[in-house]
Structure 1
Amino acid sequence: MIVDEKIIAGIFVEESKNRFLCRVIIDNKICECYVPSSSRIDNYLNLKGREVLLTENKGINKRTRFSLFAVKYYNKYILINLNMVNKIVGAMILERNMKHLSEIGIRREQTVEGYKTDLIVEDNGEFTIIEIKGVISAKREVEFPSVASERATMQLKKIKELLQRGYKVVYLIVSLSPIVKKIVLDPDFSEYYYLLNECVELGMRLKGFSLSYEEGSIIYNQKLRII
């Protein structure tokens, strides 16, 4: 997936009390920038003093000129924007980078029997529901989920019902970091853990892969081991 926005570099200073704002040094000036994430980045990574990449915000009447895009760790870039994951996966399916998913057409955020999907992939009159979970980390091994999520548990309950009715479902865990090599499912979140395993037993495909940002493109990096 080609990033068609202008990318500039800066040095991260700190997140603001407002979780959607941060301060970054750009051309020796401290600038307020937008953080495109529903949760604070410092929950996942320590960005202070690190090189970051930013995109220029489009349109007028924007409070900030730039948005946080990626951070440099170990000479690699970790993408920051979890809100981009669905768009990236859709683009990769269309570019045929995800060979385990055949594609004729893609529909986004459709409702199937009361369940709001991330993506639906249509193939010869049949369709597969795609549920996507994003991960941000600078570690090689990541426990998932990292926090309790009632929403994720409720989603699995609905997915279980859909599987029992004969629907095809793929559950994708997508790392925005090329550093991550393995996802460890955390049994401490017992309800989520057992529901996920029940869904797999009912035929849900559980897949994982990581992303890289290189030379203006976001690319499929590698499959993740999920244990």
Structure 2
Amino acid sequence: MSRILVVEDEQRIASFVAKGLRAAGFVVDVTTSGNEAVEWVLQGGIDLVVLDVGLPDIDGFEVLDRLRGQGVATPVIMLTARSSVADRVAGLEGGADDYMPKPFSFEELLARIRLRLRVSGEVHQLMRLEHRGLVLDLASRKAQVDGRWVDLSAREFALAETFLRNPGQVLSREQLLAAVWGLDFDPGSNVVDVYVSYLRSRLGKERFETVRGMGYRLA
């Protein structure tokens, strides 16, 4: 169930939007503070933000700037009584995913929320590789093993990514050299064996099988 944060200081509008979203099956939190909204989103667990531009402490543009500056990619739909093209452009260029001028139709807002959540979910899936408890997050370049985060070097991550894109397939040392180190790397080097050993120690020895005379395989 998706969780939506509504950041709106007009109580009537906030109540109207929150009530409609809850009726549509969403978990909804509401705040009137831009600073509180930033803290809330940074803590994680928010799937989408409905963000008003006019807030009593910092405006929606500042909230958006702080979130994007922290690398937060959570979808944001901005609401505002300002309908000028300049404001819409400022919001979109600042990293907003959508922009709706007031007054607005709740049905349209709901449709846009569902669209953004669907697109966000699809992108999230594209940015993750998973195989039997091993997860690679391609955005953060981090690995997770059975729920535990593991730090990998750039080469280790690239090698692990190659294996996860080809689970169960035997990959020769030459294929792995070409994919991770480049075609012009010395084919007589034992660097592949060394780095497979690194992966085994960090991600689990049983995951990377040696296929004698052929190469390696992600079990």
Q: Which of the five TM-score ranges fits, normalised by the shorter chain? A: under 0.3
Looking at both structures, which has the greater relative contact order when contacts are Cα pairs under 8 Å and sequence separation is at least 6? Answer: 1
* Structure with greater Cα Rg: 2
> Structure 1 or 2: larger strand share?
1
Q: Give the TM-score of the pair, scaled to structure 1.
A: 0.25
Higher helix share: 2
